[in-house]
Structure 1
Amino acid sequence: MEFGIFVQGYVPNFRSQVEPDAEHHALMEETEYVIQADKSGFKYAWFSEHHFLDEYSHLSANDVYIGYLTHATERIHLGSGIFNPLPAVNHPVKVAEKVAMLDHLSNRRFEFGTGRGAGSHEILGFMPGVTDMNATKEIWEETIGEFPKMWLQDEYQGFQGKHWSLPPRKVLPKPFGASHPAMWYAAGSPSSYAMAARKGLGVLGFSVQKVSDMEWVVDSYKTAIRDAEPIGGYVNDNVMVTTTAIVAETRKEAVRIAASSNLNYLQSLLFRYHDTFPRPEYIPQWPELLPQYTEELVEMLVDEELIIIGDPDDALAQCKRWEAAGADQLSFGMPVGVPYEDTLRTIRLVGEHVIPKIDTDPVHRTTRFREAAGH
């Protein structure tokens, strides 16, 4: 199992109300998390693309952000989690161009994840006439298979679809070297995992909350991917899942940090905006918040395998549970309200004590797939 981190430009009001430049500081701190993750042996960093989602995510121009980090890092792969390829948000040709350019700037370290937006508040900003959020699925389906053609055909043969069109044109630049960056899809339901697998796409599993959820994820995906008809140059057989991690020298200190970091606020914001997600009964309607996390609740969340918290030995044992459940990659969401130095410490401790005991392959899984396709 490989390891990653996930950043999104989290700027909660409880921070910005007391810190005039909170937005700037948050964005700059999250670049430092990625730089430290690179030094600590993490193989992937993922970057959201969200629009209009006040507090929850101010990372809208993630292509610019990733471009900066291609020069600030050396080994870590940098992934769009996501680039939104719906024509009303980003024209597909411009997305293809950005992907290829980042492939060059990063020296083949870019990972191309796509999705359909975070919910009605975001989607309706660009598509005000939409009445059914599922309509974006048809647009994404029409578009996703065109990207490999734009990269691999000397002159793209053009496209005439229901939602966008383009005459024959050379789409430039082409990806660097053989084939193209690995392709991923942000999936939230069993049918979406299976659909991604059939297309040969890796899955960005932002909806997996605990280890026991992995069973249906892996079953639906790994079964379907055996019969994949890849839309690109190769099959990216990969399930990435996200969780929260807080690691300190002692379990007591990690639990204390978790209980004092307003973790309930980010979880409440998630369901404020992701209104296409199934809402568990215990999640209140915004602006009502989930209760503040106590140390007792944090311990319960650890026992339920909903969060990774503790000393390095605790973290190692908890990560091994994800590995045993079948995750190909475990990615830690870093912007959870935990203080900057404590977040850097989590990254360093995981890099020192956890990653070397689980991820012993020096080569990225996606690199192996891409190189095999190029021969």
Structure 2
Amino acid sequence: MKIGYFTERPYRWVPEEALFQNHAFFAVSNKYFDREKGADDYNYFLDEACYAEELGFDAVALNEHHGTPFCMGGVMNVEAAILARITKKVKIVLVGNPLPVIKHPLRMAEELAEIDLISRGRLVAGWVRGAGSEQFFNNANPAYNREMFNEAHDFILQAWTRPGPWRYEGKHFHYRHVNPWALPYQKPYPQMWIPGVLSPETVRWCAEHRYPYVGLGTAIGPTCDLWDIYADEATKHGYQAGSENFGYLIPTFVAETEEKAQELGKGFIYGGGQTAFSRPEHTLPPGYNSKSAIRLLAKQPGGSWLGVSQDKLNQARSDGPTEETEYQEIRRKLGNSYHKAQ
């Protein structure tokens, strides 16, 4: 088992009333951005990643969001390049680059190769489709999201493994001259981990490529269902899924006392853990998700990615299971799902 450290790197200084008026982080006006505080935050987050390495974490993970104080990582590859130079042992995990909205897979192949070289092979190159709100920010058509994701992924692998120069003419991407000079330190290319929020199509795609699937704090029940799908799909492709194929992001709060940790946890229930990332109309634009993915998302507590009422939030804050009960249930469900995959 590998244990990594991850934080959204949020901008913490937006007035609370602005968030309530907007009903979400995405689309809050950048008039609230303070340059000095932003500069302090970026340096703080980099120092924090270095400290995670000192504490013995196997990996530090970065993600990317746009147009929102929820995550300062608008261009996470910049942070990854810095960490590649100032850290020594820790894996640098990207969860991940949103291929359909960046729209330049050749540039992406070059950037990641440089990071892998600077770190001497410590990069894990994760890919994502990009949240629904990213489609708005980057002027991307959500109906073509999965097509562009698949084509960009396949192109990047070719760019890293096929000697150039060569010409590429695809459905969504076109290049006259493909010949990236700097190639990844790892041969043939870096490891790849794929994060997700309960899309069966993504899980099947991961199993087909033997990429680990990482549930992003998703409800345990639906997550285990997807692990079963992964295991079945792996069998179809001639291999047996193991612990190396499954990952899970779990929000954790540490404080001097149980009471202080619980108080911190209450903030997460509203502040990004449930509906605060973006409003429903931005979260799931038409054509972005399949019907089966939406059905699984609706199984989240309170339908968390589809919208949560204040009553549900209050219930989650006050009536949730005890720490020991919750941990026992997580161990039981994850253990059963893992053993079924064997």
Superposition TM-score, scaled by structure 2 size: 0.75
| Residues 201, 236 of structure 1: 8 Å contact kept | no
> Is 1:107 aligned with 2:104?
no
- Matched to 2:110, the amino acid is E
Instruction: Tell me the secondary structure at the aligned position of residue 244 of structure 1.
Output: coil
Q: Kindly provide the CA deviation profile for residues 245-303 of structure 1, in whole angstroms up to 9, marking residues without a partner as x.
A: 012354333223323x45412233224253356456565988x9746977x85574454
Cα pair distance change 1:292/1:195, threshold 3 Å: closer
Shift of 1:315: 10
> Is 1:324 aligned with 2:335?
yes
2-side partners of 1:249 and 1:8: how far apart? 22
> Is 1:116 aligned with 2:115?
no
- Extract unaligned runs of 5+ from structure 1: 304-308, 328-375
Instruction: Tell me the secondary structure at the aligned position of residue 209 of structure 1.
Output: coil
- Matched to 1:66, the amino acid is A
Instruction: Tell me the secondary structure at the aligned position of residue 225 of structure 1.
Output: helix
Shift of 1:30: 2.3
> Is 1:191 aligned with 2:197?
no
| Residues 283, 305 of structure 2: 8 Å contact kept | no
1-side partners of 2:257 and 2:326: how far apart? 11
2-side partners of 1:22 and 1:244: how far apart? 25
Instruction: Tell me the secondary structure at the aligned position of residue 249 of structure 2.
Output: strand
Shift of 1:73: 1.8
| Residues 10, 72 of structure 2: 8 Å contact kept | yes
| Residues 211, 325 of structure 1: 8 Å contact kept | no
Give the corresponding residue for 2:139: 127
Give the corresponding residue for 1:154: 163
| Residues 100, 173 of structure 1: 8 Å contact kept | yes
Give the corresponding residue for 1:361: none
Q: Kindly provide the CA deviation profile for residues 348-374 of structure 1, in whole angstroms up to 9, marking residues without a partner as x.
A: xxxxxxxxxxxxxxxxxxxxxxxxxxx
Q: List 4+ stretches of structure 1 deviating above 6 A.
A: 15-20, 291-294, 314-319
2-side partners of 1:289 and 1:30: how far apart? 32
Instruction: Tell me the secondary structure at the aligned position of residue 151 of structure 1.
Output: helix
Give the corresponding residue for 1:212: 221
Shift of 1:244: 0.8
Give the corresponding residue for 2:146: 137
Whose helix proportion is higher, 1 or 2?
2
Number of residue pairs the alignment of both structures matches:
306
- Matched to 1:6, the amino acid is F
| Residues 220, 330 of structure 2: 8 Å contact kept | no
Cα pair distance change 1:14/1:71, threshold 3 Å: same
Give the corresponding residue for 1:28: 43
- Matched to 1:99, the amino acid is L
| Residues 85, 115 of structure 1: 8 Å contact kept | yes
Q: Kindly provide the CA deviation profile for residues 288-333 of structure 1, in whole angstroms up to 9, marking residues without a partner as x.
A: 9746977x85574454xxxxx69xxx99878856763567xxxxxx
Name the % identity: 17
| Residues 92, 123 of structure 2: 8 Å contact kept | yes
Instruction: Tell me the secondary structure at the aligned position of residue 240 of structure 1.
Output: strand
| Residues 215, 249 of structure 2: 8 Å contact kept | yes
| Residues 4, 58 of structure 2: 8 Å contact kept | yes
Instruction: Tell me the secondary structure at the aligned position of residue 178 of structure 2.
Output: coil
> Is 1:241 aligned with 2:253?
no
Cα pair distance change 1:126/1:262, threshold 3 Å: closer
> Is 1:264 aligned with 2:274?
no
Give the corresponding residue for 2:232: 223
| Residues 246, 258 of structure 1: 8 Å contact kept | yes
| Residues 11, 26 of structure 1: 8 Å contact kept | yes
| Residues 183, 236 of structure 1: 8 Å contact kept | no
RMSD: 3.7
Greater RCO (Cα-Cα under 8 Å, separation 6 or more): 1
Shift of 1:215: 1.7
- Matched to 2:60, the amino acid is A
- Matched to 1:142, the amino acid is E
1-side partners of 2:256 and 2:97: how far apart? 37
Shift of 1:39: 1.6
| Residues 49, 60 of structure 1: 8 Å contact kept | yes
| Residues 190, 216 of structure 1: 8 Å contact kept | no
Q: Kindly provide the CA deviation profile for residues 38-79 of structure 1, in whole angstroms up to 9, marking residues without a partner as x.
A: 122221222112111x22222111111111111222222112
Cα pair distance change 1:244/1:197, threshold 3 Å: same
Cα pair distance change 1:112/1:289, threshold 3 Å: same
Superposition TM-score, scaled by structure 1 size: 0.69
1-side partners of 2:35 and 2:178: how far apart? 47
2-side partners of 1:147 and 1:229: how far apart? 25
- Extract unaligned runs of 5+ from structure 2: 19-31, 286-293
1-side partners of 2:143 and 2:313: how far apart? 34
Shift of 1:7: 2.7
